[in-house]
Chains A and B, each alone.
Chain A
């Protein structure tokens, strides 16, 4: 066993893991933080997306020990009590989820798009940046709308 020290959603944590433990399994199995999902377990679907040191990554393809010293953010860290994060609210407002399985990964990827690009984004950038997140329900249109909504780039009905 190896002790990994990292910050998760602002809390400093020390966790004992086997070296072969995946980061997503540290979250889900060791810490019981099941908001981060495992869809494909093959680096394709993006359901396991978390933000590691400011970058969206797929936590099914990173060893927990590789996150030593890192700052990690997950879906559980977004809302402030009962108040949803603006991206979560935008997903609700724009009907950007149906079954919801891909949603935690979508939202973490989407939050990271705004963090890295600011609000100067357009539809083609959002679609390109979401290539690593698969959704089998929505057809993506409303997900893209939700991200543009947060950036203030959505035409309003009144306009």
Chain B
């Protein structure tokens, strides 16, 4: 059983911030599909849980000025099913629909995934590859400044991620090799094309969490084809290793996923 805590369900951002500040050791909870398992294992024991589920500013999906903006409390299921997402960035809808399983997608949220920055999470790769802007209760953070290593982001204590604004690319593709049991990414690549500029983000593979593969971007910017990546490899020493996959295997998978994401733009590809 989890250690005892007090639960709060504020209906405004300011009330949530205030509750967080006034609590001894508070944590925000959205879908709870990372935090509650962590608390059940007693790896976290906040004194207070402040729910973000009732706050209007964290909801909604909108398109404006070349940008697709998704509220942080939107679930993976609602992103996957959104006409705005499937119409503008089908690879992003596919990504959302490939997280966990249907029950998990009914609860887990984009804000939770991005703010947690799990090294095997899907969304961080889309945030980097789609040059997203992270809107918070305090400011706007560029994607390039947001992720700061495994489970670490630019968010300050108490700061709330409210919306993720993705730049709408000409085309994008997401390819992933899943751990067959947990369905987290063993390695995955999000490849987005903006005119002559290409952005490639790799998740699941590195010891330091999500990263941009700049060498692949340079080649693809000149020649957008899987063939342009021939011979290009990631440094095995930078990869993660665990019981599921070795460093070498992850480096191989990340490169393979990148080629597949280039070949199969406009969709999700599961390897």
Interface residues in chain A, defined as those with a beta carbon under 8 Å from any beta carbon in chain B: 2, 18-20, 22, 41-44, 46, 49, 52, 55-58, 61-63, 65-66, 68, 109, 129, 131-133
Contacts and interface: CB of A to CB of B under 8 A. Distances in A.
Given A20-B5, A68-B9, A56 B33 contact: no
A123 to B, nearest CB: 16
Contacts of A44: 181-182
Contact of B102 (A52, A65, A132): A132
Contacts of A132: 100-104
B158 interface: no
A62 B30 CA distance: 11
**In the complex, which of the residues A20, A109, A132 has the most CB atoms of chain B within 10 Å of its own CB atom?**
A20
A63 B32 contact: yes
**In the complex, which of the residues B5, B7, B32, B102 has the most CB atoms of chain A within 10 Å of its own CB atom?**
B102
A55 B106 contact: yes
A46 B7 contact: no
Interface residues of B, number: 27
14 contacts: A18-B4, A19-B4, A19-B5, A19-B7, A20-B3, A43-B33, A44-B182, A55-B106, A57-B103, A63-B32, A109-B103, A132-B100, A132-B102, A132-B104
Interface string B1-17: 11111110100000000
A124 to B, nearest CB: 12
B257 interface: no
Contacts of B7: 2, 19, 63, 65-66
Nearest to B40: A41
A62 B32 CA distance: 7
Contacts of A49: 103
Contacts of A57: 103, 106-107
Interface in B206-254: none
A140 to B, nearest CB: 14
Contacts, number: 68
B66 to A, nearest CB: 32
Nearest to A17: B7
Contacts of A61: 32-33, 36-37, 107
B77 A55 contact: yes
A56 B75 CA distance: 13
Contacts of A2: 7
B104 A20 contact: no
Contacts of B1: 20
A19 B6 contact: yes
B135 interface: no
A38 to B, nearest CB: 12
Nearest to B100: A132
A138 to B, nearest CB: 18
Contacts of B5: 19-20
**In the complex, which of the residues B2, B33, B101 has the most CB atoms of chain A within 10 Å of its own CB atom?**
B101
A17 B53 CA distance: 20
Contacts of B33: 43, 61
A49 B9 CA distance: 24
Contacts of B101: 46, 131-133
A46 B104 CA distance: 10
Contacts of B104: 43, 58, 132
A43 B102 CA distance: 11
A118 to B, nearest CB: 15
B183 A131 contact: yes
